[in-house]
């Protein structure tokens, strides 16, 4: 016998279901994940925009922060208002580094007895270490490897889920509560990564299969993979960590200043106090040199991550961090970082693809209007 | 044998050696997924065997379409520009990419025949 030289990919609790559904599996953040099912990415994307799609996102990290000081402690790592977050409310947050760059983006929900946190799969081990190292003495950091995460997304997601728990209809965008679904004790938030109304469902791993089958049995619901998840979030103008944001981009450069509440800004009651606050505050006061922008292609050729952008005089203007041919819109869309002098809406830039320079125009995001249920 | 294959999953049908038809295989389109864009070569331009003459792009990825043999492009499938999904629906038929005037039939003869290509697919 010889030792295996390749690292075994981890499997989510829905692995056998993916195989049964004919999914094409790919390695992603150390997991075997479905990139698409036999219907294909375009059909899955369309199903999510018009009806409802079920995504397995169990690779993502789920944690609890427990203890009276958890909210105050977490505020030392993120420039968000966590202390003022009411029970049942969810908030988008960012772990910053000493330079104001981003270690990860995450979702935080205040529950009665803890903070429920969801982080990116590729970052979850580092995030857990980060939390334990810096605030482990002020609250208890509890990873939840025994829970799966399902995302049910689309305008008819609520119709499907309400048959399993009537109460979910009362949730509004960025709120969450506990529900029993298919006999499992779940925590459900009305949120997602597609721009559509929908839910993310934290479920015990050993009950995830039964819940997924029950949801897929609903007439509105079909399975969707990571491929459609990526095109959906890009149309919705939502950042992908490691691509559109990362350790060398600040919240201000990334256009995420809206996520920094007033109370954490200069003059606010709990201003600063997070890693890189000085750098972030400098940029909040005077515009940064580069900005994340949305781009729409004027020709049909897709422009992808890594493409260099030039201005009309042929000078380098920036680079693309995500891009595809938008399935719903039928045109190339991209996110890019460009010099602020190129960031105005309507500004024309040229993306270099295989030696050709393709015209693109700076476009407001989201590319596809959000359709959240704000109640 | 009139249809031969490359290790890069192109096919070439040479019923007419002045206008041999080139496309990508069923396996290639399946591996790519939903095709959303094709970049076709200019008619009249010549390419050497193995050179990238076109590009096929799915939602997720872009791939070169390489010349199975040295030759000159004599026609391209304009229908693909309007409906790239023809590559998925009928890769060996309506989803063809371009036609080539073959310079050297010996290059064609050295490509993989259907049993050879089947064996390649089974080894993947």
Q: Are residues A220 and A269 in the same domain?
A: no
User: In terms of domains, do A64 and A136 share one?
Assistant: yes
Contact B39 A227 (CB under 8 A): no
Q: What is the dihedral of CA A322, A361, B61, A94, to 10 degrees?
A: 10
Helix (H) or strand (E) holding A210: helix A205-216
Residue A375 domain flag:
no
Q: Å from B34 to nearest chain A CA?
A: 6
Residue A250: inside a domain: no
Q: What is the domain range of residue A343?
A: 257-363
Per-residue model confidence as pLDDT tens for chain B (124 residues): 689 999 999 999 998 878 999 999 999 999 999 999 999 999 999 999 999 999 999 998 899 999 999 999 999 999 999 999 999 999 999 999 999 999 999 999 999 999 999 999 999 8
**Predicted TM-score of the model (pTM):** 0.95
Q: For B60, name the nearest residue in chain A, comparing CA atoms only.
A: A227
**Residues A319 and A210 grouped into a single domain:** no
Same domain, A67 and A209: yes
Chain A within 8 Å of B55 (Cβ-Cβ)? yes
A335 belongs to a structural domain: yes
Closest CA to A120 of A245, A25, A7, A223: A245
**Which residues of A fall within a CB distance of 8 Å from B33?**
36, 40-41, 227
CATH value at residue A290: 2.40.30.110
Cross-chain CB nearest to A325 (options B39, B55, B59)? B59
CA-CA distances (angstroms) from residue B57 to A12, B31, B119? 30, 11, 26
CATH number of the domain encompassing residue A88: 3.30.1360.120
Distance from CA of A300 to the nearest CA of B (A): 7
Interface membership of B79 toward A (CB under 8 Å)? no
Number of domains making up chain B: 1
- Give me the total of CB pairs closer than 8 Å, taking one residue from chain A and one from chain B: 35
Residues A188, A308, single domain; the answer is: no
User: Do B57 and A301 make contact, defined as CB atoms within 8 angstroms?
Assistant: yes
Counted domains in chain A: 2
Q: Is A373 within a domain?
A: no
Nearest to A300 among B33, B37, B55 (CB): B37
What are the tens digits of pLDDT across the range A22-37?
999 999 999 999 999 9
The residue segments making up the domain with residue B80 are 3-123
Report the 10 Å Cβ neighbour count for B110. Answer: 11
The complex scores an ipTM of: 0.89
Kindly report whether the peptide bond that precedes residue A366 is cis, defined as omega within 30 degrees of 0. yes
Query: What is the CATH classification number for the domain harbouring B59?
Result: 2.40.50.100
Residue A179 lies in a domain: yes
In chain A, which stretches have pLDDT less than 50? Answer: 1-5
pLDDT at A1: 39
Task: Give strand pairing partners of A204.
Answer: A147
A304 touches chain B (CB under 8 A): yes
Instruction: Write the burial class of residue A299 (CB in 10 Å: 0-12 exposed, 13-18 middle, 19+ buried).
Output: middle
Closest CB to A302: pick one of B33, B34, B57. Answer: B57
Q: Specify whether A18 is located in the same domain as A105.
A: yes
Task: Kindly state whether residues A281 and A222 are assigned to the same domain.
Answer: no
A41 and B39 in contact by Cβ < 8 A?
Answer: no
| Centroid of chain to Cα A124 | 13
Residues in A closer than 8 angstroms to B62, CB to CB, are 302, 304
Enumerate long-range contacts of A82-89, CB under 8 Å, 24 or more apart.
A82/A108, A82/A110, A82/A115, A83/A270, A84/A261, A84/A263, A85/A110, A86/A110, A87/A111, A87/A112, A88/A175, A88/A176, A88/A177, A89/A174, A89/A175, A89/A176
Q: Cβ of A265: how many Cβ atoms within 10 Å? A: 18
pLDDT for position A6:
57
The chain B residue lying nearest A301, using CA atoms, is B37
Residue A247 is assigned to a structural domain of this protein: no
- Nearest-CA distance from B112 to chain A in Å? 27
Residue A239 lies in a domain: no
In the listed set A212, A230, A248, which residue is the last one of a domain according to the structure? A230
Closest residue to A324, CB basis, from B39, B59, B88: B59
Where does residue A352 rank: exposed (0-12), middle (13-18), buried (19+ CB within 10 A)? middle
């Amino acid at each position: 016998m010889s030792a295996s030289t390749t690292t075994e990919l981890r499997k989510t609790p829905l692995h056998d279901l993916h195989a049964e559904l004919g999914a094409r599996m790919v390695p992603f953040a150390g997991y075997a994940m479905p990139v698409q099912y036999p219907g294909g990415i375009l059909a899955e994307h369309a199903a999510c925009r018009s009806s409802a799609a079920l995504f397995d996102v169990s690779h993502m990290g789920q944690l609890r922060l427990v203890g009276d000081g958890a909210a105050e402690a977490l505020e030392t790592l993120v420039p968000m208002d966590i202390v003022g977050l009411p029970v049942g409310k969810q908030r988008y947050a960012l772990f910053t580094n000493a330079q104001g760059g981003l270690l990860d983006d995450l979702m935080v929900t205040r529950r009665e007895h803890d903070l429920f946190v969801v982080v990116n799969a590729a970052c979850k081990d580092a995030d857990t270490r980060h939390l334990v190292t810096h605030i482990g003495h002020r609250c208890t950091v509890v990873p939840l490897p025994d829970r799966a995460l399902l995302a049910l997304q689309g305008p008819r997601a609520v119709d499907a889920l309400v048959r399993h728990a009537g109460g979910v209809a009362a949730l509004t965008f960025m709120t969450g509560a506990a529900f029993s679904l298919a006999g499992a004790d779940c925590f459900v938030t009305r949120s997602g990564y597609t721009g559509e109304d929908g839910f993310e469902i934290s479920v015990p791993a050993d009950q995830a299969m039964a819940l997924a089958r029950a949801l897929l049995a609903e007439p509105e619901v079909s399975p969707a993979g990571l491929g459609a998840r990526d095109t959906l979030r890009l149309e919705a103008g939502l950042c992908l960590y490691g691509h559109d944001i990362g350790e060398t981009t600040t919240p201000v450069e990334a256009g995420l200043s809206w996520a920094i509440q007033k109370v954490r800004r200069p003059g606010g009651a709990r201003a600063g106090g997070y890693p890189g606050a000085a750098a972030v505050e400098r940029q909040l006061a005077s515009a940064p040199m580069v900005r994340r922008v949305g781009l729409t292609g004027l020709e049909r050729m897709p422009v992808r991550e890594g493409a260099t952008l030039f201005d009309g005089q042929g000078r380098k203007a920036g680079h693309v961090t995500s891009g595809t041919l938008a399935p719903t819109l039928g045109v190339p869309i991209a996110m890019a970082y460009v010099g602020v002098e190129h960031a105005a809406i309507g500004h024309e830039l040229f993306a270099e693809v295989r030696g050709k320079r393709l015209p693109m125009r700076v476009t407001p995001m989201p590319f596809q209007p959000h359709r959240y249920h704000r109640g | 044998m009139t249809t031969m294959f490359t290790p890069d999953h192109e096919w070439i049908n040479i019923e007419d050696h002045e206008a041999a038809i080139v496309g990508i295989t069923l396996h290639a389109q399946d591996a790519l997924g939903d095709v959303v864009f094709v970049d076709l070569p200019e008619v009249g331009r010549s390419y050497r065997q193995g050179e990238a003459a076109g590009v096929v792009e799915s939602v997720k990825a872009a791939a070169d379409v390489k010349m199975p043999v040295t030759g000159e492009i004599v026609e391209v499938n304009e229908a693909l520009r309007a409906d790239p999904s023809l590559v998925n629906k009928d890769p060996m038929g309506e989803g063809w990419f371009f036609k080539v005037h073959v310079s050297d039939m010996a290059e064609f003869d050295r490509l993989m025949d259907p049993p050879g290509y089947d064996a390649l697919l089974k080894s993947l």
